[in-house]
Amino acid sequence: MREVKFDMLFSRRGALVMLAGACLAGRLMGKRSDSAAKAWLDAQDLRRLVPSFSVPSRERLLRSLNNRALRGQLPAAEVEGIGRAERKQVEALMVDLLPVAQLYARPPISSYRVGAVARGASGSLYWGANLEVPRQPLGYCVHAEQAAVANAFLHDEAGLVALAINAAPCGHCRQFLNELPNAPDLAVLIANHPPATMAALLPAAFGPSNLGMRERLFGGKSFDLELAPSPEEDLTRAALKAACQSYAPYSRSPSGIALRSLAGRTYAGSYIENAAFNPSLPPLQAALVSLIMGGEEPGDITAAVLVEVEDAPISQASAARDALGALAPAVTLRRVPARWKR
């Protein structure tokens, strides 16, 4: 995230966009979850964020952004419609939309808002933004690129074809993105720079193939887990489903977390692992991405369940408890052990 700071400081336009985004986001957080049905953005916000868009395109975008059931997805039909109206290629649209993605940033430590827009194989776009956990190690932070990938993954996308970001992705994110099935060909669109491929950004990469792994993120594989006795409660069932869908080919320690919010909604997150281990995205962080994309805040969490395999080589429980304790101190994480289906 540091390089974003420098890029933004040295780019006047970038600095202005960031400042406007920060002011707007601060205001939006104020009006957030008083009513989930209430619009969280209005036409004026959109005029500021995407000034080059026509009024009909802004209205179209506004409808999707205010539809919280979409949870951070801009459906393919909307992307196509806006692209046609604006006479722009989708890659250019993605870069134009970065100030919108920045609204989802929650950076209480750095105050730097990073936005990312991922394009799924279906043609839909997914917002991503940085998320920081106060009073906890920096390793608990989620980078915007990771959030966009997790967002697309949680929407059952088949893969990603492009990713737009404010500034060049950091080494951590390049490593995280290297888990994608088409990693070398992924188009990386950096604002005010020519497009690059991951092959150019991460030469001599270390990835799944170095470990003899054929599986890749978005591969559609799932783990066969069950709970004993079988779960009755919705939240536990959602955490189990997220655990089954997690990507953990290296540790074989699938896990999932489901959060319940004040509004009574459920947000589930699956663990996303990496060949180099450290840029792995824990299930709590993935669930938090979904929660923020759904227009709610970590302080709105009322219950949390972690499902992970009993006696697996790794556990998410203690880190998830620490992070949750910093974000929603009144909530106790319930850990429900799962077993492999026989």
Annotated active-site residue in 78, 132, 145, 296: 145
Helices first, then strands: H and E counts in the chain: 13, 11
Classified as helix, coil or strand, 283 is helix
Segment (H or E) for 329: none
Judged by CB under 5 A, the stretch of 13-21, 169-177, 215-223, 332-340 that binds Zn ion is 169-177
105 contacts 113 by C-beta, under 8 angstroms: yes
CB nearer to Zn ion: pick between 154 and 165: 165
Shorter beta-carbon distance to Zn ion: residue 166 or 246 = 166
| Nearest-approach distance from CB 6 to Zn ion, in angstroms | 14
Q: In whole angstroms, how close is the CB of 302 to Zn ion at the nearest point? A: 31
Q: Is 129 in the site for Zn ion (CB under 5 A)?
A: no
The C-alpha atoms of residue 300 and residue 307 are separated, in whole angstroms, by 21
For residues 169 and 178, is the Cβ–Cβ distance under 8 A?
Answer: no
Asked if 143 touches Zn ion (CB under 5 A), the answer is yes
Identify which of residues 170 and 307 has a Cβ nearer to Zn ion in the complex: 170
Q: Which is nearer to Zn ion, 95 or 338 (by Cβ)? A: 95
Q: How far is CA 82 from the centre of its chain?
A: 23
Minimum CB–partner distance for residue 175 and Zn ion (Å): 9
Q: Name the minimum Å distance from CB 93 to Zn ion.
A: 22
Q: How many residues bind Zn ion (CB under 5 A)?
A: 4
Secondary structure of residue 53 in the 3-state scheme: coil
**Considering the rule CB under 5 A, would residue 170 count as an interface residue with Zn ion?**
yes
Tell me how far CA of residue 216 lies from CA of 153, 196, 274, in angstroms. Answer: 12, 22, 10
**Stretch near Zn ion under the rule CB under 5 A, chosen from 139-147, 261-269, 302-310, 318-326:** 139-147
Sheet of strand 255-261: strand arrangement = 225-227, 333-340, 301-309, 255-261, 266-270
Q: Which of residues 6-45 bind Zn ion (CB under 5 A)?
A: none
Stretch that binds Zn ion, among 65-73, 133-141, 166-174, 278-286 (CB under 5 A): 166-174
233 is annotated as an active-site residue: no
Beta carbons of 265 and 308 less than 8 angstroms apart: no
Listed residue (310, 311, 315, 260) closest to 283, CA to CA: 315
Residue number with CB closer to Zn ion (143 or 260): 143
Toward Zn ion, which CB reaches closer, 261 or 285?
285
Is there binding between residue 94 and Zn ion (CB under 5 A)? no
Residues 242-271 close enough to bind Zn ion by CB under 5 A: none
Provide the mask over 310-329, with x wherever binding to Zn ion is found by CB under 5 A and - wherever it is not: --------------------
Q: Rounded CA gap, 238 and 341, in Å?
A: 17
Task: Say if CB 188 and CB 180 are below 8 A apart.
Answer: no
Angle 305-238-227 from CA coordinates, rounded to 5°: 75
Shortest distance in whole angstroms from residue 102 CB to Zn ion: 14
Shortest Cβ distance from residue 213 to Zn ion (Å)? 23
Closer residue to Zn ion, CB minimum distance, 143 or 216: 143
In this structure, what DSSP letter does residue 22 have? H
Sign of CA dihedral 77, 154, 261, 143: negative
Closest approach of Zn ion to the CB of residue 143, in Å: 3
* Stretch of 137-145, 194-202, 203-211, 244-252 contacting Zn ion, by CB under 5 A: 137-145
Q: Please give the Cα distance from 90 to 125 (Å, whole number).
A: 9
- List 173, 217, 259, 305, residue binding Zn ion (CB under 5 A): 173
Cα(220)–Cα(288) distance, integer angstroms = 22
Q: Which residues contact Zn ion by CB under 5 A?
A: 143, 170, 172-173
Give the residue numbers annotated as catalytic, written as ranges: 145
